[in-house]
């Protein structure tokens, strides 16, 4: 069965799913993505990663500010989609849009629902110390990430995972689960759905740059997760020996009883140890204002050079 698919997505996370749609044999008749936004130091209008991929593939691109207007809905209806696939699109789909395709709308969501519904499930899972994450292929309905789950993929979260590494792994898993769903539907199968349980619902609120500030009065393990979750954005920052630095990599270690939170316990090639409310945080990669990311060893070498001059 040939499918006419409209794909809706915006950031890098969505691109592997767009490629999975194209590789599936479905006909991607249009791509919907957010309007071009200012980016970079020059604040130049920049197309989204999904738009760039769609243009390169010769797929028509639509960029409405909203899907609420009759005009926007008429344009979408004109593509006569059998299915709409939504992956980190960033716009709310009105009920009329959800009901428009013959097979409804699918969403690829980067969590194990109902845990971490909402905007930032990848980072929230790391911050909370979750042992695993995954992606769900979900049949969309009017609520925020409340629809029944069609297919799921799981992956453990390791202590070395960052927001970036988990993002990339889940993006690949999302493409994998979407490819399976499309293949089975095009083979004539009706996918069985599983209603989300009412227990275990949590919300992954959008990241705020203010959350990146490290409070050394908190337990070191929580700060380690904060550093990992906010790599590559917004990047954790904290005061080290009187200087505010961006903290790119750190590990919770045993501390010194009675040490004041925020005090530097040790500076060595393998890291700078900072006392916390519980334990200590060993900072191994950091960045000065206006500088670049360096190892703790390189930072200390530069500091000694500055002090000697």
- Residues at the binding site for (6S)-5,6,7,8-tetrahydrofolate are 111-114
**CA–CA distance, 281 with 150 (Å, rounded to integer):** 41
- For the residues of 192-254, what is the DSSP string, one character each? P-BPPPSTT--EEPPP-GGGGB--TTSBHHHHHHHHHHTTTTT-EEEEETTEEEEEEEEEEE-
SS3 127: helix
- From 62, 128, 121, select the one nearest 97 (Cα to Cα): 62
139-169 b/e (C-beta count within 10 Å ≥ 16 → b): bbbeeebebbbbbebebebeeebbbebbbeb
Taking the alpha carbons at both ends of the chain, their separation in whole angstroms is 73
Residues 6+ apart with CB under 8 A from 181: 106, 137, 150, 151, 191
Q: What six digits make up the tokens of 84?
A: 């709409």
Q: Phi and psi of 209, rounded to 5°? A: -60, -30
The CA-atom distances, in angstroms, between 231 and each of 31, 104, 122, 237, 266 are: 29, 35, 11, 11, 24
Q: What is the dihedral of CA 102, 103, 109, 112, to 10 degrees?
A: 150
| Binding-site entries | 111-114
Helix, strand and coil percent figures for the chain, each rounded to 5: 30, 30, 40
Q: Helices in the chain by DSSP H: which ranges?
A: 15-23, 49-57, 70-78, 95-98, 121-127, 163-186, 220-229, 296-308
């Amino acid at each position: 069965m040939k499918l006419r698919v409209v794909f809706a997505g915006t950031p890098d996370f969505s691109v592997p799913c767009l490629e999975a749609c194209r590789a599936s044999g479905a006909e991607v008749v249009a791509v919907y993505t957010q309007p071009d936004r200012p980016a970079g130091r020059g604040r130049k209008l920049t197309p989204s990663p999904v738009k760039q991929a769609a243009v390169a593939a010769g797929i028509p691109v639509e960029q409405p500010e909203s899907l609420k207007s009759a005009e926007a809905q008429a344009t979408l209806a004109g593509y006569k989609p059998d299915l709409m696939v939504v992956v980190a699109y960033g716009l709310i789909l009105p009920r009329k849009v959800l009901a428009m395709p013959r097979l409804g709308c699918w969403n690829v969501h980067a969590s194990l629902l109902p845990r971490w519904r909402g905007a930032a499930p990848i980072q929230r899972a790391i911050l909370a110390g979750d042992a695993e994450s995954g992606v769900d292929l979900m049949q969309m309905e009017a609520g925020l990430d409340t629809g029944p789950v069609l297919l799921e993929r799981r992956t453990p979260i390791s202590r070395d995972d960052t927001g970036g590494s988990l993002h990339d792994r889940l993006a690949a898993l999302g493409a994998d689960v979407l490819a399976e769903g499309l293949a089975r539907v095009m083979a004539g199968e009706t996918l069985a759905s599983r209603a989300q349980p009412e227990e275990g619902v949590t919300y992954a609120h959008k990241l705020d740059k203010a959350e990146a500030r490290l409070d050394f009065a908190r337990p070191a393990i929580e700060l380690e997760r904060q550093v990992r979750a906010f790599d590559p954005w917004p990047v954790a920052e904290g005061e080290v020996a009187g200087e505010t630095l961006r903290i790119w990599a750190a590990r919770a270690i045993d501390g010194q009883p009675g040490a004041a939170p925020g005090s530097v316990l040790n500076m060595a090639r393998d890291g700078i140890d900072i006392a916390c409310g519980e334990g200590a945080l060993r900072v191994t990669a950091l960045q000065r204002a206006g500088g670049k990311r360096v190892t703790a060893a390189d930072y200390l070498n530069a500091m000694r050079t500055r002090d000697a001059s």
